[in-house]
Chain A
Amino acid sequence: MATMTVQIAGSPDGMPLRIKLQQVERWRKLKAFTLVLPLLLFILVAFVLPIGRMMFNAIHDETLLTLMPQTSAALSVWDGKDLPDERVYAALAKDLKQAWAQKITGMIAKRINYELPGAGGQVTSSARKAITLSAGPYKAALIEISPLWGQRDVWSLLKRGHSAYTAYYLLRSVDYQYGPESQIVASPPESAFFRNVFLRTLGISISVTAATLLLGFPVAYLLATLPPKTSNLLMIMIVLPFWTSLLVRTTAWVVLLQDHGIVNDVLMALHVTSQPVELIFNRVGTMVAMTHIQLPFTLLPIYSVMKTIPTTHVRAARSLGAGPFYAFWKVYFPQTLPGVAAGCLLTFILCLGYYVTPELVGGATDQMVGHFVALYTNEDLNWGMASALGAILLTATLLLYYVFNKLVGVDRLKMG
């Protein structure tokens, strides 16, 4: 095609046709791009930028660098072996006095407390007492005020604070932390619960995905093989929950599953149990509600793939002598796999980020990563930790989204 246009060169105004075509093409591309531009810019500014900033927060922390500038600077030459010399202690005293005057001691104490639990209070009291120190030697005086300043780990921490970047939050998210000599050590058992949280999130997501597949596959198969009139009618029963507000569905489960709720009434009427079973605010409630919410997400992709499988295939297998189950397993089932993969992956991705449902129908031990991201943001106000947990969750989600994109193609995403 390209060579053809070169040969026909020479349109009325003397410009080669190829160049003119290219111009038109470029103009069209530009026009198409202009249409997309407003939304693209909007998403970049109002969505990608905040998310990027949050990811950055996970490794960026200038608290100690900006609030204790002199100590950080003085420590940059410290070898980390013995306690620092008098010069550093003088800088510390200066910084503490300044912090007390500017009323920012609390922020320093909080930051130090993250890595050395319990040290925060001593930092505040040291700052209060440090204002009375007028002249050196500071070293002995400060250690006298608080034994904290005679320990190496606080100095290692302050030295690390000289850099605006820290791996502390990410390390904590996988149950590691810095030791007294800035080496990486496992977190003590009482604060090492994040790996458990991630495993729990993974476990709940896998179980819910499996449950939706188990429940969804037979229904998708039935709907795909029924005549359109009946299947459309049954489809309403799947699409209606899909359209109902998440909070409404959660409300329904809370009402149904409570101690004196309908489910327990039925169980007791059937003499399955003599007293109410605990069905909510535990793992059972979380799993039931999540499965209910996710079922259409798994079912619909499977259904749409099944619709495209010709019924003649199974019939051919049957006529060639395969038994009904053999024909289904060898001929039909393999063809449904793209739908199964798409549905399960979608459900799994969505499950990883659950927050509202476990919050409302789960117990304390059913909370997933999302809960801790929210907790550190709202209640502990430890934004570094919230960002680090969020960054890990987001990375996992995006990787899976990439796989989903390769596998299914985002173009083929449909709703309802």
Chain B
Amino acid sequence: MAAFAYASPIEKSWYYLHWLICLAVLLFLIAPILAIIPLSVNSVSFFTYPMSGLSLRWYEEILTDRWQGALHKSLFIAVSVTLLSTALGTLAALGLSRPNFPWRKLVMSLLILPMVVPVVITAVAVYFFYADIGLLNSYTGLILAHTTLATPFVVIAVSATLVSFDYSLTRAAAGLGAPPISVFFKIMLPLILPGMVSGALFAFLASFDEVVVALFVASPEQRTLPMVMFSGIREQISPTIVAAATVLILFSISMLSTVELLRRRSQRLRGIRNT
């Protein structure tokens, strides 16, 4: 709806009211995230405006062992999860996208299931299971559990790039004498790469942000960044947590930009007009 010149006064006022409502909702979405960024450089530990002075002391605190150790563990786990889930998820998406794959719908819903099941149920179920097989409090256990949660993202992202995949390209390559391996690496991979990368980013984030499963199956030895944040928020929220949150927000922004750029590149490569 646009405010046409011939619109009646009621329509016009409704139009502006609609805009106003929408801006308020958008503000509700974005303001909380932006509002805490300046507070992370506040010199005192109050969370109010106007701020009394600027200081980087809370960021200094992030550089201490407690946070750094957690960050390293989180990164280690998230990177392992990303590698594992991207490999598994991409293969599965390639198989699923083949025409007349048997029981496609059923298999797909099964693979997406970890995304749908409430994470606290997954956490409890995995906890009981690991208690039996002795995987509790181990990196292996945590990485495997996070991988189950992360693979649906990869499957969905890679499947999305394969929906519009033109199989005559691979047939043409094969017809020109390319062996299957080089067809895959020279034709298929470059085209699905954007999907793989955004799937991998989602998978990374899924593990890097995950706290519930970690709370159940990890010991203090595997204390991840979200676990530190969780206990911090629960006890007494400190500016250090806000500083860490700010770092994570900047991290999200850069990831979002990467995915957006990849999406545009993929659309350009495949000749899809920006819709």
Report which A residues bind B (CB closer than 8 A): 25, 28-29, 31-40, 42-43, 46-51, 53-54, 57, 215-216, 218-219, 221-222, 225, 228, 234, 236-241, 243-256, 258, 260-262, 265, 292, 295-296, 307, 324, 349, 352-356, 359-360, 370, 373-374, 377-378, 383, 386-387, 390, 393-394, 397-398, 401, 405, 410-411, 413-416
Contact = CB atoms under 8 A, between A and B. Distances in A.
18 contacts: A36-B91, A38-B91, A43-B148, A47-B114, A53-B132, A54-B129, A219-B25, A239-B256, A241-B30, A245-B208, A252-B245, A261-B47, A262-B49, A355-B120, A374-B124, A377-B127, A378-B216, A410-B109
Interface of B: 1-2, 11, 14, 18-19, 21-22, 25-26, 28-30, 32-33, 35-36, 39, 46-49, 88-89, 91-92, 94-96, 98, 100-102, 105, 107-114, 116-129, 132, 144-145, 147-148, 151, 153, 155-157, 159-160, 202, 205, 208-209, 211-212, 216, 226, 229-230, 233-234, 237, 241-242, 245, 248-249, 252-253, 255-256, 259, 274-275
B223 to A, nearest CB: 14
A414 B155 CA distance: 11
B25 A218 contact: yes
Contacts of A50: 122, 125-126, 128-129
A371 to B, nearest CB: 8
Given A54-B128, A262-B47, A42 B120 contact: no
B233 A390 contact: no
A48 B110 contact: yes
Given A54-B124, A243-B255, A245-B245, 7 more contacts: A32-B95, A46-B147, A53-B128, A53-B132, A247-B230, A251-B241, A401-B109
A260 B47 contact: yes
Given A40-B111, A252-B33, A394 B117 contact: yes
Contacts of B249: 244, 248
B112 A39 contact: no
Contact of B237 (A49, A249, A251): A251
A152 B206 CA distance: 53
Nearest to B116: A401
A256 B233 contact: no
A256 B31 CA distance: 10
Given A240-B256, A261-B47, A360 B233 contact: yes
A376 B173 CA distance: 58
Contact of A386 (B30, B118, B124, B132): B124
Contacts of A250: 233
B124 A413 contact: no
Given A32-B98, A36-B107, A353 B118 contact: yes
Nearest to B233: A360
Contacts of B113: 43, 47-48, 401
A324 B29 CA distance: 29
Given A225-B1, A251-B229, A353 B29 contact: no
A291 to B, nearest CB: 8
B229 A247 contact: yes
Given A47-B122, A414-B160, A383 B128 contact: yes
Contacts of B209: 245-247
A38 B92 CA distance: 8
A249 B1 CA distance: 33
A171 B25 CA distance: 43
Contacts of B120: 353, 355, 370, 373-374, 390
Nearest to A248: B245
A46 B202 contact: no
B148 A256 contact: no
Contacts of B160: 414
Given A250-B233, A252-B33, A254-B237, A215 B121 contact: no
B233 A51 contact: no
Contacts of B147: 42, 46
B210 to A, nearest CB: 9
Contacts of A34: 95
Contacts of B226: 245, 247
Contact of A39 (B18, B19, B155): B155
Given A40-B111, A260-B46, A397 B33 contact: no
A415 B156 contact: yes
A25 B29 CA distance: 51
Contacts of B252: 240, 243-245, 248
Contact of B33 (A240, A360, A383, A410): A240
A190 to B, nearest CB: 25
B108 A360 contact: no
B22 A219 contact: yes
A410 B112 contact: yes
Contact of A43 (B22, B111, B118): B111
Nearest to A41: B88
A265 B111 CA distance: 47
A343 B153 CA distance: 18
Contacts of B18: 218, 221-222
Nearest to B19: A222
A249 to B, nearest CB: 7
Contacts of B123: 374
Given A39-B91, A40-B92, A360-B234, A29 B102 contact: yes
A265 to B, nearest CB: 6
A370 B117 CA distance: 12
